[in-house]
Amino acid sequence: MAHSTSGAPSERNATSASNHTSASADAQTSPRPRKAFPLRFIAGVLAHWQIIASAVLLGGGVAGLAATYDDYCGMTELSYAPAALRSDFEEGSKVSGFRPGVMAAQIETESHWRVGVESHQGAKGIAQFTDEAWNAEHYSFGNGGNVLNPHDAIAAQARYLSELRTRLAKYASNEDELQDVVLAGYNAGPGSVEKYGGVPPFPETQNYVKTIRELADTKYKLTCSPDYHFKQAKLSFVNGVTPAMAGVHEDGTPLSAEESASAAAEVSASASASASARPSASASSRSSAKPSATGR
């Protein structure tokens, strides 16, 4: 802003001795130069900026800044997850108690976003649930959904993580340890964690926990400075599974009601064919109390 630089009133420019008394009187009653006020104001602000800033922050600035930061970084946390699934992870985080980035890192480790992938023990979908765990009467994590549907799978993942968090909390002394034992329970079965009093000594499980933690701390970390060396994750459909069978479009967005009705028959036919082709065998589990939902 431009400050006023005009001279003082003309009456104050008189310099003759005869006008000295009059000029002095005028000076006492005339307003001070306006240019001094902005300078004094700026100087005051600079001298007391810490006090002013504290007052603003205490008046609600802190909450506002924190909310803005969290909103922005919350989006950045999932910038490399498939766009159609980001809201599912955000909602799932509220159920599981783990941040969205951890859940995304787990799905990437479980299936690498391949919708039709199936383990040698029959675990299906991006969250790798067995039919037994998905449809069980007393502890069904599928909740009537489609195991191949990515949105249903993430909801089931959140429910299972929540149950494991409650069941295995006594084996951890802090949140980081709890995350590790819960992930271990997801992989090896909660009974294995209970047997060993923590992450079991299985190389597969230990590597599983380590991989998820590393992904959660890098690719899916909460940050405002994402690492652009990572590639955007995308859903893929393998082993003959089509987007329609999974109840989604190719980009992962849900089908409409009409599209879903048409796809239901396709899913049913595929399930029947898969059941008749697979040899009868019960999935093994290391869990002594309840089978691992992922069939390990």
pLDDT at 7 over 50: no
Residue 138 has what pLDDT? 74
pLDDT at 85 over 60: yes
Verdict on whether the full-model pTM lies above 0.75: no
- Most confident range, picked from 53-57, 64-68, 148-152, 276-280: 148-152
pLDDT tens digits for 23-77?
A: 444 444 445 555 555 566 555 545 555 554 444 445 545 444 454 555 555 457 9
pLDDT at 296 over 80: no
Specify the residue for token string 């306006």: 34
Quote the CA–CA distance of 4 and 282 in Å, as a whole number.
89
Give me the amino acid identity at 241. V
Query: What is the rounded average pLDDT of the residues 107-119?
Result: 98
Residue 233 has what pLDDT? 94
Among 5-14, 39-48, 155-164, 213-222, the least confident range: 5-14
pLDDT at 12 over 90: no
Half-sphere CA count of 14, side-chain side, radius 13 A: 14
Q: Percent of the chain scored above 70 by pLDDT?
A: 66
Which residues fall within 8 angstroms of residue 183, CB to CB, at 6 or more apart? 106, 208, 209, 212
Residue 264 has what pLDDT? 76
Residue 263 has what pLDDT? 74
What does R_g of the chain's alpha carbons equal in angstroms?
33
- Residue 124's beta-bridge partner residues? 118, 129
Q: Which domains does the chain have, with CATH numbers?
A: 37-77 (no CATH), 81-224+232-277 (1.10.530.10)
pLDDT at 120 over 70: yes
Q: What is the dihedral of CA 20, 23, 27, 30, to 10 degrees?
A: 170
pLDDT tens digits for 192-247?
A: 999 999 999 999 999 999 999 999 999 999 888 778 889 889 999 999 999 999 99
More confident residue, 25 or 164: 164
Q: What angle do CA 289, 183, 174 make, to 5 degrees?
A: 100
Mean pLDDT of all residues belonging to the chain? 79
Query: What is the rounded average pLDDT of the residues 89-117?
Result: 98
pLDDT at 282 over 50: no
Q: Percent of the chain scored above 90 by pLDDT?
A: 55
Half-sphere CA count of 20, side-chain side, radius 13 A: 3
Among 5-14, 52-61, 165-174, the least confident range: 5-14
Residue 167 has what pLDDT? 98
Give me the amino acid identity at 22. S
Quote the CA–CA distance of 177 and 9 in Å, as a whole number.
77
Nearest to 89 by CA among 72, 106, 71: 106
